[in-house]
Amino acid sequence: MLPPPDSNNICFYGECSYYCSTEHALCGKPDQIEGSLAAFLPDLALAKRKTWRNPWRRSYHKRKKAEWEVDPDYCDEVKQTPPYDRGTRLLDIMDMTIFDFLMGNMDRHHYETFEKFGNETFIIHLDNGRGFGKHSHDEMSILVPLTQCCRVKRSTYLRLQLLAKEEFQLSSLMEESLLQDQLAPILIQPHLEAMDRRLRLVLKVLADCVEKEGFPSVVENDLDGQPSSHHHQAHGGR
């Protein structure tokens, strides 16, 4: 902790290998900061986790750019690299990208999986602490994995379209869901409205992808065995 030179507030900074320094301190008024912590994962002794480096991890350096920032064909390289060369892992990363963009989280340097399932697994969206920072700013660089790869699960694509409809609006569903929390209200209205705005931006990126590469190349059908009509899939996937 250190007091800034121009006020009586006390500032906190963490110890880690990324943005933890006195330059990136968080200041209290005078010494308290509101925050939240949630952990619902099994203990590591019960379920070991494997940590994976996010291929689209930021450089965390003021002057040095990450490879994905300078190479527009970076996704082609990722697609040839295990575990992204088969299975659903790349599509899972696209889901995580959309998840992070909706809440404005630029800090997805790693993700995790449960070791027990090997590479045939879902990924864990752990550590979302940088989410819901600036509701007035849409950080388009978070969507770079999606714009470079132009791939998405059909179930995700239909869900996004559903949440853009007025009767299933993402902000309304989110607000209703969060009201059940004992700490409600969790998100102020501008954050909820930002999610609707960002959802439209995701759909715009996907529409551009479909126009450029064609629907079958972009949207991966993960709904085998589901009713074939678009209407039923959109509602049956809820």
Report if residue 42 sits inside a domain. Answer: no
- Give the mean model confidence (pLDDT) for residues 119-136: 90
Q: Are residues 29 and 72 in the same domain?
A: no
Query: Considering the entire predicted model, what is its pTM?
Result: 0.82
pLDDT at 208 over 80: yes
Q: Are residues 115 and 232 in the same domain?
A: yes
Residue 100 marked in a binding site: no
Q: Are residues 11 and 120 in the same domain?
A: no
pLDDT at 218 over 50: yes
Which ranges of 61-188 would DSSP assign to H, the alpha helix? 67-70, 74-79, 89-103, 144-149, 154-163, 170-178
- The shares of helix, strand and coil residues in the chain, as percent rounded to the nearest 5, are 40, 10, 50
Report if residue 124 sits inside a domain. Answer: yes
Report if residue 199 sits inside a domain. Answer: yes
CA distances from 191 to 136, 175, 232 (A): 8, 10, 31
Label residue 127 left, alpha or beta by phi (over 0 means left) and psi (-120 to 50 means alpha).
left
Question: Phi and psi for 96 in degrees, rounded to 5?
Answer: -65, -35
Residue 12 marked in a binding site: no
Residue 39 marked in a binding site: yes
224 is catalytic: no
Report if residue 38 sits inside a domain. Answer: no
Report if residue 41 sits inside a domain. Answer: no
pLDDT given at position 227: 43
Report if residue 13 sits inside a domain. Answer: yes
pLDDT given at position 225: 57
Q: Are residues 29 and 124 in the same domain?
A: no
**Calpha distance 78→68 (Å, rounded):** 10
Residue 167 marked in a binding site: no
pLDDT given at position 7: 66
pLDDT given at position 231: 38
Q: Are residues 10 and 83 in the same domain?
A: no
Q: Are residues 79 and 169 in the same domain?
A: yes
pLDDT given at position 237: 40
Q: Are residues 106 and 154 in the same domain?
A: yes
Report if residue 10 sits inside a domain. Answer: yes
Name the residue range of residue 76's domain: 49-56+65-236
Q: Are residues 81 and 6 in the same domain?
A: no
pLDDT given at position 229: 38
Q: Are residues 89 and 25 in the same domain?
A: no
pLDDT tens digits for 44-86? 899 999 999 999 999 988 889 999 999 999 999 999 999 999 9
Residue 127 marked in a binding site: yes
**Calpha distance 82→84 (Å, rounded):** 5
Q: Are residues 72 and 26 in the same domain?
A: no
pLDDT tens digits for 153-179? 999 999 999 999 999 999 999 999 999
Q: Are residues 134 and 72 in the same domain?
A: yes
Catalytic-labelled residue, pool 43, 71, 107, 222: 107
Q: Are residues 170 and 81 in the same domain?
A: yes
Q: Considering just the CA atoms, what is the radius of gyration of the chain in Å?
A: 20
Domain count along the chain: 2
Most confident of 1-5, 95-99, 234-238: 95-99
- Give the mean model confidence (pLDDT) for residues 134-149: 97
Query: ω before 30 within 30° of 0 (cis)?
Result: yes
Task: Provide the pLDDT confidence category of residue 42 given band limits of 50, 70 and 90.
Answer: confident
Mean pLDDT (the chain) is 88
Task: Provide the pLDDT confidence category of residue 124 given band limits of 50, 70 and 90.
Answer: very high
